Amino acid sequence: MFLAKNLWIIEDMEDLQPIYHHIFDSSEFNLQFITSFEEFKNSYMSGKTHPDLIIADIMLEDGHFFKLLNESDMTLNTPYMVISSFDDIETLRSAYQAGAIDFLLKPFNQNEIRVKVERHLINIEEKIHKVSKSLDALNLDLSQFTNKEIKIIESFNMNEEKTLHRNEIVKGIWKNIAIHPNTLDVHIYNLRKKLKVFDYGIKAIGNGLFKFIELVPKEMAPKTG
């Protein structure tokens, strides 16, 4: 890792902060400690700084992490790992169903958490690179699209057939957030209008499936020059 990664740690046990500093060297990681979910929500939604990865204790004094995500209007786009002293099967299931990329049990092994964080950051970088390359090939002016619209386009282009079920799109974009049934349809409608300018479209092909298509196949496009 050449650039220091921004690691947000949501943990109300402040005596753990020196341990985290010991595990994650300051030359490789910028640590930001957050001691309440309300503080996390305000910091994340302000957008002033962007975490590359979040480590969240499931239960803090002001609530439950998954309950926060379910009941708030925030959409968590940053990958996150969770830590808990509970390892019952329902806690584990809930963590992964809510979108966590890993689960760590307290008291955690320092070497294990360091290696897992490094591995996840590498995977995140590889995915970002792959997505960026995929979007570059479309030659879109991304400034014309909202963040959620870009993520919907990314979802299609990460799929080999460029075909997704509406439930896959909703789960991928909104994750644990309950949305109105028409929310996706509104986004698809707006996307179709914007994509048409670039000769792309999203076609409903039945049974809740959508396909990202070229309106003018490249081999049929008029040659210039």
DSSP state of 26: T
* Architecture field, domain 5-127: 3-Layer(aba) Sandwich (3.40)
At 1 the pLDDT is 46
Q: 5-10 and 29-34: which strand pairing?
A: parallel
Name every residue whose Cβ is closer than 8 Å to that of residue 10 and which is 6 or more positions away in sequence.
Answer: 34, 35, 37, 40, 54, 55, 56, 57, 60, 65
- Judge whether 5-127 and 139-220 match in fold: no
Class assignment of domain 139-220? mainly alpha
At 17 the pLDDT is 95
**What are phi and psi for residue 188, nearest 5 degrees?**
-65, -40
**What are phi and psi for residue 216, nearest 5 degrees?**
-125, 100
At 74 the pLDDT is 67
Terminal CA-CA length for the chain: 45
From the list 149, 155, 165, 161, the residue with the least C-alpha distance to 198 is 149
- How far is residue 133's CA from residue 56's CA, in Å, rounded to a whole number? 30
At 51 the pLDDT is 93
Query: Where are the strands (E) in 58-137, listed by range?
Result: 59-60, 63-64, 80-84, 102-105
- Per the DSSP assignment, residues forming a β-bridge with 59 are 64
Which pairs with CB-CB distance under 8 Å and at least 24 residues apart come from 148-157? 148/75, 148/173, 148/187, 149/187, 149/190, 149/191, 149/194, 151/77, 152/187, 152/188, 152/191, 153/191, 153/195, 153/212, 156/202, 156/210, 156/211, 156/212, 157/131, 157/212
At 187 the pLDDT is 92
Tens of each residue's pLDDT in the chain, 225 residues: 457 899 999 999 999 999 999 999 988 999 999 999 989 988 988 878 889 999 999 998 888 888 887 777 666 778 999 999 888 898 888 888 888 899 999 988 999 999 999 999 999 888 888 777 778 888 888 888 887 888 899 889 888 889 999 998 988 887 766 778 888 999 999 999 999 999 999 999 999 999 999 997 655 555 544
> Reduced to 3 states, what is the DSSP secondary structure of residue 51?
coil
At 177 the pLDDT is 67
What residue spans define the domains of the chain?
5-127, 139-220
At 63 the pLDDT is 85
Q: 80-84 and 209-214: which strand pairing?
A: unpaired
> Reduced to 3 states, what is the DSSP secondary structure of residue 197?
coil
If you search the block for the tokens 């204790």, which residue do you land on? 57
